[in-house]
């Protein structure tokens, strides 16, 4: 059975959880990775109840030890790896602590390097595999008040693009999905309760998952590097 790793898994109504469930439903064994075991276990239990296979693994995306161990747990059948970890870190540069800026970079960019490196180390010898990264509108353009987040996500995107070019010849498909806007999920609804009344302006989670599955299923003679997803109401 082919194996997938998804890191950055949180609540059920979140992108990480829905990615796990979709790829498990498609027949992959999914390693469900994130920081909070109860959330990971809940997603894994749901997958098992639906007839799929999943293993919850607590891992810090910025820990080299944790990421190496995560990929070791995947075994020899790794076919898909998705880096969905990230942290929206607002703040004005003039008032920002260096530690705050560095933490934003470590989660959004450095963690992507660790994850991507371990993925290709295992995929290249087999000459096959897909590595996907979750991006944001911050990956493409700077925004006042979000300098730390912008720089980290832009760094992740250029890392992904470099890896796409570096490993295409080895049969590795590297892709990047730009999520341009807020997602209709637990994170936004818990922070902004009034958002539940304007779901038409929030991006549908399953639509984002569709973008990931589209990239995963692309034939080798017709690969895309990047897809962007937004609502019809988003000004871009």
pLDDT score recorded for residue 86: 87
CATH class of 3-229: alpha beta
pLDDT score recorded for residue 196: 64
Q: Where are the domains of the chain?
A: 3-229
Residue 99: CB atoms within 10 Å: 8
Average pLDDT rounded to a whole number, residues 145-168 = 97
Average pLDDT rounded to a whole number, residues 145-153 = 95
pLDDT tens digits, residue range 180-227? 988 988 777 877 677 666 777 899 999 999 999 999 999 999 999 999
pLDDT score recorded for residue 197: 64
What are the contacts of 216-225 at 24+ separation with CB within 8 A?
216/23, 216/80, 216/130, 216/132, 216/173, 218/173, 220/171, 220/173, 223/168, 223/173, 223/175, 224/175, 225/160, 225/161, 225/164, 225/174, 225/175, 225/176
pLDDT tens digits, residue range 76-118? 999 999 999 988 889 999 999 999 999 999 999 999 999 999 9
CB 118 within 8 A of CB 67: yes
CB 226 within 8 A of CB 175: yes
Q: Is the pLDDT of residue 66 over 90?
A: yes
The region of weakest confidence among 86-90, 170-174, 176-180 is 86-90
CB 31 within 8 A of CB 55: yes
- Decide: pTM greater than 0.85: yes
């Amino acid at each position: 059975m082919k194996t997938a790793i998804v890191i950055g898994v949180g609540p059920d109504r979140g992108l990480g959880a829905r990615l796990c469930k979709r790829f498990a439903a498609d027949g992959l064994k999914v390693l469900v990775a994130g920081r909070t075991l109860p959330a990971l276990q809940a997603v894994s239990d749901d997958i098992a109840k639906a007839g799929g296979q999943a293993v919850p693994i607590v891992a810090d995306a910025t820990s080299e030890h944790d990421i190496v161990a995560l990929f070791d747990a995947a075994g020899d059948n790794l076919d898909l790896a998705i880096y969905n970890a990230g942290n929206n870190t607002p703040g004005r540069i003039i008032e920002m602590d260096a530690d705050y800026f560095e933490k934003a970079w470590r989660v959004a960019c450095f963690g992507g390097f660790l994850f991507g490196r371990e993925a290709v180390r295992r995929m290249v010898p087999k000459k096959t595999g897909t590595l996907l990264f979750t991006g944001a509108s911050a990956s493409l353009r700077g925004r006042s008040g979000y300098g730390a987040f912008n720089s980290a996500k832009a760094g992740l995107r250029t890392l992904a693009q470099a890896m796409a070019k570096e490993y295409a010849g080895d049969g590795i498909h590297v892709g990047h999905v730009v999520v341009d806007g807020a997602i209709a999920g637990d994170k936004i609804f818990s922070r902004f309760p009034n958002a539940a009344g304007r779901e038409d302006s929030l991006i549908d989670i399953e639509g984002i998952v569709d973008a990931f599955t589209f990239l995963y299923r692309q034939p080798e003679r017709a690969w895309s590097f990047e897809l962007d997803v937004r609502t019809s109401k988003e000004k871009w």
